[in-house]
Amino acid sequence: MGDFLGDIYKWYNIYKRELPWRKTTNPYFIWLSEIILQQTRVTQGSKYFLNFKSQFPTVNRLALATEDEVLKLWQGLGYYSRARNLHSTAKIIVNDFNGQFPADYKQLLKLKGVGNYTAAAIASIAFNLPHPAVDGNIYRVLARYFGIKTPIDTNSGKKEFYKIANDLISHKNPGMHNQALMEFGALQCVPKSPNCKLCPVAQTCIANKNNVVNALPVKSKKAKQRKRYFYFYYIENGNYLFLEKRTGKDIWQNLYQFPLIETKKELSDVEILKNGFTKISDLKGNIKSISAKRKHILTHQIIYAHVIHIEIKNKDFKSDEFIRVNKKDIHKFAVPRLVEQFFKDLGIE
């Protein structure tokens, strides 16, 4: 084990990426980076981290922001519950902890949106506390090196991997330790076809010796994806269009979108023209076009979406159902990536 960790640390010191959150131990910035990097690639997350750091340089400033401001800055990252939790937690830190992050693992776990991994990352990197941060990269490194076939998505698997990670954790520099293992998984021990010939621990890696590298780690469950059919209505009224805010416990909560009809099955163009518009309202307008189908894949669902472009000539038209927005102000509204893509297709930017 000593050689294993020593070799990983040497590798890390040579090959680690220069990332903006690695230049600080400020718990606010560590927390911010970890929330952004959940379900997000580092290259994409770095831009968002720098934007958040610039617009909200302190947790107090983030707590004072409106939810719309936070969601707008988050736009394009997906998993928007992360942004809402980020905002809620900032308020809790300011109101309940006097603006100071708790330097305690168990207290960190009580924060909204902070699980075992994120609490351990903050505790180890910001406060030098010996808690193992076990993310997907570390699961993969440990599964391969120690030849563990227990599925990582089971309670027994999580306990087994946590025990190994906890036994390995450095008490001298736990932050560097966690980051070294994560970086090793991200760059060297990658999910598919890693270059084991260049791996510094290949000689003692059980998966490499038994030629089962691509079979580990093991997962017992495969996420099921349900299909959804979205029909957005771009209701154009001169320089104005109409949006609605998504409410309720569903994807994209509190984001804005074109007025939407969701159906249980895919509609033909004839069915869209016959049934769809009357469900939106009793407006009278000209249907200018129906977009091509766009496929949008989320973790547990696949969305098939169209936009129906309707032009209304009545300049005095108002709606109690929807929000009337000048096209030049559309950039002020936080929208899902799918809707943003339709904006670009329609020349609304």
Per-residue pLDDT tens over the stretch 92-112: 999 999 999 999 999 999 999
Q: How many CA atoms lie within 13 A of 104 on its CB side?
A: 5
**Helix residue ranges per DSSP H, the chain:** 2-15, 27-37, 42-55, 59-64, 67-74, 81-96, 105-109, 116-127, 136-146, 155-168, 174-187, 206-209, 269-271, 277-280, 337-346
CA neighbor of 297 nearest in space, from 341, 263, 256: 341
**Helix residue ranges per DSSP H, 232-331:** 269-271, 277-280
- Beta carbons within 8 Å of 269's beta carbon, 6+ residues apart: 290
> What's the chain's Rg over C-alpha atoms?
24
Which pTM was predicted?
0.85
Q: Would you state the pLDDT for residue 282?
A: 55
d(CA 286, CA 283): 10
If you search the block for the tokens 């924060």, which residue do you land on? 111
CA neighbor of 325 nearest in space, from 253, 248, 235: 235
What does the pLDDT look like over 170-202, one tens digit per residue?
Answer: 999 999 999 999 999 999 999 999 999 999 999
Query: What domains lie within the chain, and their CATH numbers?
Result: 2-215 (1.10.340.30), 226-346 (3.90.79.10)
Task: Look up 271 and say whether it is catalytic.
Answer: no
Kindly state the tokens that stand for 54: 């610039």
Contact predicate 115/38, CB 8 Å: no
Per-residue pLDDT of the chain (349 residues; tens, 9 = 90+): 558 999 999 999 999 999 999 989 999 999 999 999 998 999 999 999 999 999 999 999 999 999 999 999 999 998 999 999 999 999 999 999 999 999 999 999 999 999 999 999 999 999 999 999 999 999 999 999 999 999 999 999 999 999 999 999 999 999 999 999 999 999 999 999 999 999 999 999 999 999 999 999 999 877 788 999 999 999 998 899 999 999 988 999 999 999 999 999 999 888 887 765 554 555 667 888 999 999 999 988 999 999 999 988 877 777 778 999 999 999 999 999 999 999 999 999 7
d(CA 214, CA 236): 52
Q: Name the CA dihedral angle for 318, 323, 326, 328, rounded to a multiple of 10 degrees.
A: -170
Q: Which of 18, 34, 244, 262 is catalytic?
A: 34
Kindly state the tokens that stand for 141: 């490194």
Q: 82 to each of 75, 252, 286, 337, how far by Cα in Å? A: 11, 11, 40, 15
Contact predicate 316/278, CB 8 Å: no
- Beta carbons within 8 Å of 143's beta carbon, 6+ residues apart: 149, 152, 161, 207, 216, 217, 218
